[in-house]
Amino acid sequence: MNNRTWARLAAVTAALALTLGACSSSDGDSATGGSTSGDTATDSAAGGDTAAGGDTAADGDTSQGDGATSGYDLNNPPGSETPVELIYWDWAPGIENIVDQWNAKNNGITVTLVTMDGGDPAIAKLLTAIKAGSGAPDIMHSEYQMIPTLVVGDALIDMTEYLDPSVKGQFTDAVWNSVTLGTDAVYAVPGDFGPLAFFYRADKFEEWGLTVPTTWDEYAEVARQVREKDPNAYLGTFSSNDAGWFTGMTQQAGASWWGIKDDSWTVDVNSDATKKVAEYWGGLVEEGAILNTPMYTPEWVAALADGTQVGWLSASWAPSVLISNAPDTQGLWKAAPLPQWDAANPATGTWGGSGTAITAQSEHPAEAAQFISWLNASEEGVKAMAELGQYPAADDLRTKVMTEPPAFMAAQTDYVDLLNQIAGTVNPFTYGPNVNVAYSAYNDEFGKACEQKSQDAFVAAVDTMQSLTLEDLISSGFAVAE
């Protein structure tokens, strides 16, 4: 790469420390609830000079510009004197109701929702439209881990000059960093967030005299106790079809798969932290202490519904999945923090989260920013998202509008406070420009390892992921540190 390319790369991707983990449940699956996972397979804009980011994404003025309408009530944006139509791509269940709520304001800005099949198809379609020069929407829903791909593909604009300064203040620094890529630019406004927790059948724990595990050693022991109490029951499963889940688990352990050293990328998928997690789960699978049934399959759903699986290491959106797939178990589940590697230093990872961005082809970025700010940073919008079962990223507003646990978790009166506490312990995690390759390698290699039910195969899978991810980064034209 030439010096100019590296200068732009540094401007766009300096320290891509996205502190939020891979986004939620599997894309497009009926068992996923309100969020989507980001086990992506999009190859567009993966490398070379194009992936360094174009002028649209990297070189914009990050000061408060003339495009913004400053100082207005985010619940009641000023709208537009001239009628404007905005095209919005999203796939979240129920989002059409929120769009209808916006359009009922009749403020001159009409949003037309185009429902996509899921995160992967939407990202691929957007990148194709950007490359073709037409066909992109004004507004795009994107999982956090895909924002680097969209930025380096010149698909998104820096929204800074169009946002009211009050928007940033609605989010913690950790969440806000997930849409800035460590720069002064803003490529989306955070929407939802998925801190990981441990969900368990409280009735079964009480019936069997089990103690909720607080460490991973305790989790393994409780898993064995469940098998002793009921040979047909399991505490949980290791899923080989959702790399976002595994990423969150390694994130909790302190892993970060990508990084930037000077002007080069680093790849550390097979770090000691990641191998520790792989070895742990491989041991439990080999022992038979847990299931190795992939999530979002009919077998997995049935296990949640009939009590065969009495625990689920999941994210804040889990109640939406459970109420859809195991409705008869409502009131029987409780949440707790993830078991810890170091009990003295509580930590968690993330599995889920997304933001809303303005695409490079929008002719109405100021109006698009009004809608996005209302959607993700106003009390009205955040309340509407919470009512859909999502876990809003706007910190203070989430606390204000989410005062009661979701109906499915009504038996746990401290649920809201617990989730807010857990959300404050998220470890940082850095994404790179070829997440899709690493995630695809995970699905392939851990699929094989689960079939073998071998601890050694689990560890070997991580090494293969490292090799494939590193080789792809090099072959795509990126400079990689040794």
DSSP 140-187: EEEEGGGHHHHHHTT-B---GGGS-TTTGGGS-HHHHHTTTTTSS---
Rounded to whole angstroms, the Cα distance separating 384 from 7 reads 41
Angle between helices 272-287 and 243-252 (to 10 degrees): 120
Collapsed DSSP state (helix, strand, coil) of residue 71:
coil
Are the C-beta atoms of 289 and 223 separated by less than 8 Å? yes
Q: Indicate where the chain has its CATH 3.40.190.10 domain(s).
A: 3-194+351-421, 196-349+430-475
Q: Which amino acid is at 146?
A: M
Closest CA relative to residue 285, chosen from 454, 447, 448, 444: 454
Residue 482 has a pLDDT of 76
For each successive 10 residues of the chain (482 residues), what is the average pLDDT?
A: 33 38 36 38 38 35 45 90 97 95 96 92 95 97 90 93 94 80 86 95 98 98 98 97 95 89 87 98 98 93 96 94 95 98 94 95 98 97 90 90 90 94 84 89 97 97 98 91 82
Residue 57 has a pLDDT of 35
392 DSSP 8-state letter: B
Residue 37 has a pLDDT of 39
Rounded to whole angstroms, the Cα distance separating 160 from 63 reads 7
Closest CA relative to residue 358, chosen from 163, 225, 124, 132: 163
Residue 179 has a pLDDT of 87
Rounded to whole angstroms, the Cα distance separating 477 from 168 reads 35
- Burial letters 166-190, b for 16+ CB under 10 A, else e: ebbebbbebbbbbbbbbbebbbbbb
Rounded to whole angstroms, the Cα distance separating 32 from 25 reads 5
CATH for 196-349+430-475? 3.40.190.10
> Length of the chain in residues, anyone?
482
For the beta carbon of residue 143, count every other beta carbon within 10 angstroms: 32
Residue 174 has a pLDDT of 73
Are the C-beta atoms of 211 and 218 separated by less than 8 Å? yes
Are the C-beta atoms of 130 and 390 separated by less than 8 Å? no
Rounded to whole angstroms, the Cα distance separating 68 from 49 reads 32
Closest CA relative to residue 245, chosen from 421, 439, 447: 439
Which residues make Cβ contacts (< 8 Å) with residue 311, sequence separation at least 6?
Answer: 198, 199, 200, 201, 235, 236
Residue 45 has a pLDDT of 38
Q: Which amino acid is at 111?
A: V
CA distances 143 to 44, 116, 191, 334, 397, Å, are 16, 14, 9, 27, 21
Pull the structure tokens for residue 17.
């420390």
Q: Which residue has the tokens 């990872």?
A: 349
CATH for 3-194+351-421? 3.40.190.10
Rounded to whole angstroms, the Cα distance separating 55 from 150 reads 13
Residue 11 has a pLDDT of 37
Q: Which amino acid is at 461?
A: A
